[in-house]
Structure 1
């Protein structure tokens, strides 16, 4: 790494920051911080992407490498757009810039019918989880993404069919972006294949 020496990890929906522990353990020479993204202080009535991004950006005292998966990738992209001076580079897995309505509706349906213990991390109730999805329903970062100028690596598992089209599109409209499709990997490959994830991240950080 040439400029920033700090890597900040942003987890996905239904996860906690602890999901990054196996990845962070493989980066002993790097200063790593994993943040909770599903709570804001003080907690508002509803989860807000704008509020979460503003609070995370405010907490960054120096430019960092942002690493995000799924919801965390959306947050990372948004912070890079609204606070570009805080972001040295982006490593985003399964990102969305304009979540498909069909995908969002399917997620909400599953969240409603599945048991809370299956879909909600310990710190979140099902209504709070649904409010996160509601906050993203009108999101559209597409027209803003060409303005990004920091190094960007977009990654997505080859089995993550729901997010592959967005990964291809996002990487094509960010001038500095590089796409890696991870063969045989699914959506949560950071958890199932942490060593593989770390390998691609390390390659990004040294690129």
Structure 2
């Protein structure tokens, strides 16, 4: 059976957000997805089912999960629900329980922006993008995090101030986790600091992936 490295992108991305990281794995079995790939219409529970279907279809007996933002939240819940399958977890710019007030402001601002003005990839429209944010706003992972026993790395850019408190909380609450704050990095570390992310992925796989 196969050990699969699973990359889950953020809400405003498609799977190509991880292309550079995937290329650096030199032929390891990889699955790269975006949240919008996993369920239509999107909900967290449907996305978890869609992710599980993809992993099973790949014939994977174990997985390392790597997620950005909402992708990290999906990875967190999947790891809590599948402790025997998930051997490692990397969460970047992720949350435990999003700040409801900040999320309301963010969504109000985004709703006022014409869809054509949003930097969304082809195939992801404004309506779907906002539905992902709406779903993320209602998620509470406080009961999930303590149930994860796989080794974890928590990343956050030093400029990603909205997510720094959650990164510190995740690292403190996950039973086996280390925190890396990336100097000068923003929310999308795969783009802002690809070398740092590649090093984190390599470190995690050396510790957790079967030989």
Q: Note whether the superposition's TM-score is higher than 0.5.
A: yes
Q: Is the 8 A contact 1:111 1:119 kept in 2?
A: no
Deviation string for 1:102-158 (max 9, x for gaps)? 221122023212232324332222222222122122211112311111111111111
Instruction: Kindly tell me the number of residue pairs found equivalent between the two proteins.
Output: 202
Consecutive unaligned residues of structure 2, counting only runs of 5 or more, are: none
Q: Is the 8 A contact 2:153 2:200 kept in 1?
A: no
| Larger CA deviation: 166-175 vs 196-205 | 196-205
Cα distance in 2 for residues equivalent to 1:4 and 1:89: 15
Consecutive unaligned residues of structure 1, counting only runs of 5 or more, are: none
Q: Is the 8 A contact 1:57 1:83 kept in 2?
A: no
Give the aligned partner of residue 156 of structure 2: 156
Cα distance in 1 for residues equivalent to 2:111 and 2:119: 9
| Residue aligned with 1:121, SS | coil
Matches within 5 A, 1:37-186: 37-40=35-38, 43-44=40-41, 47-61=42-56, 62-117=61-116, 118-186=118-186
Cα distance in 2 for residues equivalent to 1:20 and 1:29: 14
Q: Is the 8 A contact 2:8 2:33 kept in 1?
A: yes
Cα distance in 2 for residues equivalent to 1:110 and 1:22: 31
| Larger CA deviation: 47-56 vs 100-109 | 100-109
The two structures, once aligned, show a CA RMSD in angstroms of 1.8
Measured after TM superposition, the shift of residue 206 of structure 1 is: 1.4
Question: TM-score, normalised on structure 1?
Answer: 0.90
Q: Is the 8 A contact 1:60 1:86 kept in 2?
A: no
